Structure 1
Amino acid sequence: MDTSPKTVLARTAEIAIDWLETLEQRPAGATADVAELRARLGGLLPRDGVDPVTVVEELARAAEPGLVAIPSGRYFGFVIGGGLPAAVAADWLTSVWDQCPALYACGPAATVAEEVAGAWLGQLLGLPPHASFAFVSGCQMAHLTCLAAARHHVLHAVGWDVEERGLNGAPPIRVLVGERRHASVDRGLRWLGVGQASLTVVPADGSARMDVTRLRAALADGDGPAIVCAQAGEINTGAFDDLDAIADVTAEAGAWLHVDGAFGLWAAAAPRFRHLVHGVQRADSWAFDAHKWLNVPYDSGMAYCAHPDSHHAAMSVTADYLIQGGPGQPREPMDWTPAFSRRARGFAVYAALRSLGRQGVADMVERACDHARSFAEGLAAVPGCQVLNDVVINQVLFRFEDDETTDSVLRRVVGGGEVWLSGTTFDGHRAIRLSVSNWQTTDRDIARALDAFREAASHAGAGRGGVLPGE
């Protein structure tokens, strides 16, 4: 049994390279169902150990039919990016180095890489230079981090120490959210003790943006601590709230403004699309993902806060055994994130930013938006297809004559394996949404997607039944 790291990792690299180099020929979606995957991967835990190379080879063979070609340019689902070569390589090193950036003492290089990459990201996206930040697993935990800071800040302003006293007896916090918000905002608030029944939902206008006039009225219809959650990039349409106008309203009301910028905040990195986030730097906190448009491997999210003291108060922790601080005043990541033990995500983000540079990020964002627009223009010529949104960024929302036809077309396209994308419900009707977020997507990939929809539309009504992606 050869258990040497060199042998195991060399064979693993061969398997990984083969996967990446054959993505063009692979189906975009999985080809095995859950029963087959359980049969291939399951069974009793073996009594004796198995040679590591054999384990890796058999795992790859068993898992392959259940793998989705997310790294390919033909994957258009859920606003998921791929993996830039430098970011993937750095992520492999992250696993080999096995650093824990909870504390500087556990991983000095990992914590400094986060410090540098966090500053670079703030510069790239035009966030205030004094803003604090945290590397987290994704936008869900970024919301939790930012909204915990918001909760501390607005309660502290009225004399309540939530970290010491909890929420029992605290002044009620009004949280105002947009009608088209992402579900992760509600989920993060729920974990912080703010249930859905406590939310004030501000209606959206016809373009899925928060109605600023209604927001102003809602804020005026009450007093006390308040948090407003705005959105840069609605998940179906890509629409952007008027962040500058919302910042005016929240400033007048003395409310905290949090921005869900999961993928849309990356518009700030691209000169052609920067106007979409005009005023975003006036917010109090921002949450977004690096595993979307920056194309680093999962999982990688970011939380930024314009009030470092509130951020630190909400997240910091001490214990007798923790080694914190020291010569040079190192940044202690544990004071800014909700996690003790976690992956050293800063290495991959650092590598992605260095490999692209400011111009490379801008080009990647603008290229994806151009592809989305080309796809929408091509759809306009497909019989029975209706594009439902103004394509302002990388999201295309469309449907066919009725719900049944829409679902049938989507099922046929996904079943054909050329591309993968998901269904949704919008304004009470079934629809399909395409997200272009992968650095590898080309004009040919868009052409293949259009061909798949033309062919499926010509057979509309056939093959109905079964489970749709996105459900």
Structure 2
Amino acid sequence: MEHLLRVAAAHAADYRASLTDRPVRARLSGAELKAGFARPLGAAGRPASDVLADLVEAADGGLVASAGPRYFGFVNGGSLPSATAAEIVATGWDQNGWNGVLSPTAAAAEETAGTWLKDVLGIPATASTGFVTGAQAGNTVGLAAARNHVLAQAGWDVERLGLAGAPRVRILASEERHGTIDRSLRLLGFGTEAITPVRTDAQGALDIEDLSQKLDPGNKGPLIVCLQAGNVNTGAVDPLEAAIALVRAYGGWTHIDGAFGLWAAASPRTKHLVKGLEGADSWSCDGHKWLNLPYDSGFAFCAHPTSHAAAMSYRAPYLVGAGDVYELGDFTPESSRRARGLAVWAGLQELGRDGVTELVDRCCELARRFADQLAAAGFEIGNDVVLNQVLVSYGDDATTDRVIEAVQRGGVCWMGGTTWHGRRYMRISVSNYLTTAADVDLSVEAITAAASA
């Protein structure tokens, strides 16, 4: 086992060391990769060292250098050295992070890391924290707590009675909300038809006047409003302070989907964008995006721990816990789960408060560097660059798509495409702690060459 783990760690270290130089795209096609993995499952087992060697050989050609400095797709972060190492030892320790009996270490790490996260993000210290897989799970947990809370206020026990016959819950969300909000509402039994869409401004932020008009003054029933910190295309942030105050006046619950944009709170330069976030009722945020933690890492915070636990927790006679004290698993959908908090603890310790601030500031500066250089080259920047997102058009939609394809094929960098306000754009997301100004300059050179061709 010791030799095997050392070999595995060496493979991982060699791969990470190669990220700056290797093509960002995968070298092999999907069909070629399947052919490499598709081998008979023999009746007899094989030595673990041989299996590991075969796995590394079969996988290498299909690896995308998304952990590297020139991957700008999907708001992907990299993985900090300490957090990566913490994941390796956490896998070796093989702890079940459901509660403090199964792993006192997992419980202590998550409690501490959760406290740090709330402090950095400006979330009230009294909020509960669930360590989940990402923003999808974070949104689902937050909205499940919302469902429990607003229906309980209306005298309905949704955890016992379900939604059939329950008071109607009004749900309002931006026209440009992320698709995970819709999926969360489907999973929770509301359905997407329950959403009243709220108009957005030119940058994709919620229009506060339209929100005000769509809140029925004559209806004081159960109300949930979903806000967004970080439009997935533009980085725009909804007017949180004004919207939260308005929803509170109606007795409603405000949930903030802050998958990456919530990290704006960590920097004095961008904190004004998320002013008032502390007044919300629940928040969702990713760790594997801007915080640069390994996949999968996300957080669900809730200002009402009792409602949070009521929506998520369960009891069984064989489960030994701490009595009336909430456990880690009371705030997450999973029972058996790895000890996610260990990598969070390590990553935050490596960065420190100043390091998180510097990471946010640097990514925003590099996004503006992309926008400035591509604009100077004659290309259209489609958004106000307020965070780490840049939209670029290369003329008509077909040309933009051809440039995106050529850039991805070239392997110097990787950017995806998106459709926003009826037009096609290259979407650049700067989120990796390894990315430097030199990486931006090299990428701009590759983009302009592809566009010229």
Q: Shorter chain as normaliser: what TM range?
A: over 0.9
Once the two structures are superposed, the pairs formed by residues 192-271 of structure 1 within 5 Å of their partners are 192-220=188-216, 223=219, 224-271=221-268
**Letter of the structure 1 residue corresponding to residue 397 of structure 2:** D
Any idea what SS the aligned residue of 1:104 has? coil
The answer to whether the aligner puts 1:133 opposite 2:129 as a matched pair is yes
Within 1, Cα distance between the matches of 2:128 and 2:251?
Answer: 21
The answer on 1:69 being equivalent to 2:65 is yes
User: 2:294 aligned with 1:300, yes or no?
Assistant: no
The answer for the alignment partner of 2:85 in structure 1 is 89
- Distance in 1, Cα, partners of 2:302 & 2:18: 42
Instruction: Identify which range, 52-61 or 132-141, moves more after superposition.
Output: 52-61
Q: Number of paired residues?
A: 452
SS in structure 1 of the partner of residue 163 of structure 2: coil
> Which of 267, 276, 287 is matched with 1:290 structurally?
287
Residue number in structure 2 paired with 1:448: 442
Partner of 1:382: 377
Q: C-alpha distance in 1, partners of 2:5/2:42?
A: 23
The DSSP-based 3-state class of the residue aligned with 2:86 is helix
Match of 1:332 among 323, 327, 331: 327
Quick check: 2:309–2:326 contact (8 Å CA) kept in 1? no
| Cα 1:131–1:298 shift into 2, 3 Å | same
1:177 aligns with 2:176: no
Give the counterpart of 2:341 among 322, 337, 346: 346
* 1:49 and 2:45 correspond: yes
Q: 2:10 aligns with which of 9, 14, 37?
A: 14
Unpaired segments ≥5 residues, structure 1: 460-471
Instruction: For residue 173 of structure 1, report the CA deviation from its aligned partner.
Output: 0.5
Q: Distance in 1 between matches of 2:450 and 2:120?
A: 41
Q: Deviations over 1:406-447 (max 9, x none)?
A: 011111111000001100111111111000100000111101
Match of 1:433 in 2: 427
Task: Supply the distance in 2 between the matched residues of 1:50 and 1:175 (Cα, whole angstroms).
Answer: 55
Does residue 153 of structure 1 match 2:149? yes
Q: Which residue number corresponds to residue 393 of structure 1?
A: 387
User: Which whole-Å CA distance do the structure 1 matches of 2:50 and 2:435 have between them?
Assistant: 34
Aligned AA (1:170):
A
Q: State the Cα distance separating 1:50 from its structure 2 match.
A: 1.8
Q: Let me know the Cα RMSD of the aligned residues.
A: 1.1
Distance across 1 between alignment mates of 2:325 and 2:3? 37
Task: Tell me, in whole angstroms, the C-alpha distance in 2 between the residues paired with 1:25 and 1:336.
Answer: 41
Aligned to 2:314: 317
Could you say what secondary structure the match of 2:101 adopts?
Answer: helix
Question: What CA distance in whole angstroms lies between the structure 1 residues aligned with 2:288 and 2:10?
Answer: 24
Aligned match of 1:414: 408
Tell me, yes or no, if the aligned pair for 1:23 and 1:72 is still in contact at 8 Å: yes
- The Cα shift of 1:203 comes to 1.0
What one-letter code is carried by the residue in structure 2 that aligns with 1:243?
L
Counterpart-to-counterpart distance in 2, 1:262 and 1:222: 33
Of 351, 360, 370 in structure 2, the residue corresponding to residue 356 of structure 1 is 351
> How far did residue 330 of structure 1 move?
6.1
Do the aligned partners of 2:366 and 2:437 also contact (CA within 8 Å) in 1?
yes
Q: Deviations over 1:349-385 (max 9, x none)?
A: 00001111100100011111110000100001223x1
Equivalent residue number for residue 280 of structure 1:
277
Contact 1:240-1:277 within 8 A present in 2 as well? yes
CA-CA distance at 1:71 after TM superposition: 1.2
| Per-residue Cα deviation, 1:186-226 (whole angstroms, up to 9, x for no partner) | 10111111111111000111111111101011112662111
Amino acid in structure 1 at the alignment position of 2:87: D
Per the TM alignment, residue 46 of structure 1 is displaced from its structure 2 partner at its CA by 2.0
Distance in 2, Cα, partners of 1:230 & 1:277: 11
Aligned 8 A contact 1:396 1:434 in 2? yes
Separation in structure 2 between the aligned mates of residue 161 and residue 240 of structure 1, nearest angstrom: 34
How far 1:21 sits from its partner (Å)? Answer: 1.0
Contact persistence 1:258–1:285 (CA under 8 A): yes
Q: Secondary structure at the match of 2:400?
A: helix
Alpha-carbon distance in structure 2 between the residues aligned to 1:20 and 1:52: 23
Q: TM-score, normalised by structure 1?
A: 0.95
Structure 1, residues 248-289: CA drift from partner, whole Å, max 9, x if none? Answer: 211111110000000000010111110110000010000010
Say whether the 8 Å CA contact 2:109–2:342 is kept in structure 1. Answer: yes
1:277-327: CA deviation from partner (whole Å, max 9, x where unpaired): 00000100000101111111000000000111111111111111110116x
Q: Which residue of 1 aligns with 2:54?
A: 58
Change (3 A) 1:90 1:360: same
Q: CA deviation at 1:457?
A: 1.1
- Partners in 2 of 1:222 and 1:58 — Cα distance? 66
Gaps of 5+ in 2: none
Report if aligned partners of 1:104, 1:331 keep a CA contact under 8 Å in 2: no
Amino acid at match of 2:82: A
Structure 1 residue 402, shift from structure 2 partner: 0.1
SS at match of 1:106: coil
TM-score (norm 2): 0.98
Tell me if structure 2 keeps the 8 A contact 1:76–1:421.
yes
**Identity over aligned residues, as a percent?**
49
Residue 199 and residue 222 in structure 1: after superposition, are their counterparts in 2 closer, same or farther (change >3 A)? farther
Q: 2:26 is matched with which residue: 26, 30, 34?
A: 30
